[in-house]
């Protein structure tokens, strides 16, 4: 009997080795799979995770030629340049803002705008007001009576708004004094946090960049 077992010993050894390999291989393969995907777990289709948009802050630019004369207080001497509009003070101009609205299923509001301008002689901006669509029950969004002038070169004021975007926003600038005013393009910053801003909001002074 023992002789028969010894005669089959090589076969039994091969079978045992095959069984060991069969048991170890799936576990080893599982570990290799983890190792292969661990090094790029922060990527999607080979792109780094930082390449994808997040619901934080979005900036939009609005060309200066978008300024339009407003109502019965339209200024005279209107001259459109490539990047802005020149006119003779006094008068009123309005710029429409188009925002992104939503990002990653979150509503974005208008956090702030950057108003850039240049004035001559005694001309100056007397007020800056933002309105939502007239379809809204409370179209007024923001208003200030901050005097703005810059006779030595272009100046940009950053105005904090923090209000819901609604169905569209218009920026109204009114000027006084004698001389010319040039309004350049604007930059707007939109964020999810700004969408919760209270309406209406009367502002004070602004911070200059």
Cβ-based neighbour number of residue 102 at 10 Å = 13
Q: What is the pLDDT of residue 54?
A: 57
Q: What is the pLDDT of residue 207?
A: 35
Which DSSP symbol is given to 167? Answer: T
Question: β-strands 84-97, 68-69: how paired?
Answer: antiparallel
- Give the range among 8-12, 39-43, 83-87 with minimum mean pLDDT: 8-12
Backbone angles phi, psi at 16, to 5 degrees: -65, -40
Confidence of residue 201 (pLDDT cuts 50, 70, 90): very low
How far apart CA 179 and CA 124 sit, in angstroms, is: 8
Spell 106-126 as b/e; 16+ CB within 10 A means b.
ebbbbbbbbbbbbbbeebbbb
Confidence of residue 185 (pLDDT cuts 50, 70, 90): very high
Average model confidence (pLDDT) across the chain: 78
3-state secondary structure of 58: strand
- CA angle at 171 for the pair 166 and 175, rounded to the nearest 5°: 160
Q: What is the pLDDT of residue 1?
A: 55
Q: What is the pLDDT of residue 98?
A: 85
3-state secondary structure of 178: strand
- Which of 20-29, 46-55, 161-170 shows the highest mean pLDDT? 161-170
Q: What is the pLDDT of residue 166?
A: 73
Q: What is the pLDDT of residue 76?
A: 95
Q: Write out pLDDT tens, residues 61-94.
A: 999 999 999 988 999 999 999 999 999 999 999 9
Q: Find, among 180, 159, 190, 153, the residue nearest to 93 by Cα.
A: 180
What's the token pair of residue 114?
Answer: 């950057």
Q: What is the pTM of this model?
A: 0.68
Cα–Cα distance list, 178 to 12, 99, 122 (Å): 107, 34, 5
Beta carbons of 99 and 110 less than 8 angstroms apart: yes
How far apart CA 171 and CA 161 sit, in angstroms, is: 11
Q: What is the pLDDT of residue 132?
A: 85
How far apart CA 52 and CA 165 sit, in angstroms, is: 24
Q: Write out pLDDT tens, residues 94-114.
A: 999 988 877 777 888 999 999
Q: What is the pLDDT of residue 119?
A: 97
pLDDT at 53 over 60: no
């Amino acid at each position: 009997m023992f002789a028969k077992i010894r005669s089959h010993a090589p076969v039994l050894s091969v079978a045992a080795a095959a069984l060991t390999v069969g048991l170890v291989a799936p576990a080893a393969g599982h570990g290799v799979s983890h190792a292969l995907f661990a090094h790029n777990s922060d990527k999607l289709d080979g792109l780094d995770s930082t390449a994808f948009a997040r619901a934080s802050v979005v900036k939009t630019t609005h060309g200066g030629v978008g300024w339009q004369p407003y109502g019965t207080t339209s200024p005279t001497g209107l001259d459109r340049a490539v990047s802005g509009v020149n006119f003779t003070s006094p008068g009123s101009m309005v710029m429409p803002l188009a925002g992104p609205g939503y990002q990653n299923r979150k509503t974005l509001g208008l956090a702030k705008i950057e108003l850039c301008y240049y004035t001559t002689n005694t001309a100056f901006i007397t007020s800056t007001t933002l309105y939502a669509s007239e379809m809204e029950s409370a179209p007024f969004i923001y208003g200030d009576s901050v005097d703005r002038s810059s006779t030595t070169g272009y100046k940009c004021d950053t105005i904090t708004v923090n209000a819901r975007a609604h169905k569209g926003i218009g920026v109204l600038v009114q000027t006084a004094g004698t001389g010319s005013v040039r309004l350049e393009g604007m930059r707007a910053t939109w964020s999810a946090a700004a969408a919760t801003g209270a309406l209406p909001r009367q502002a004070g002074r602004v911070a200059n960049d």
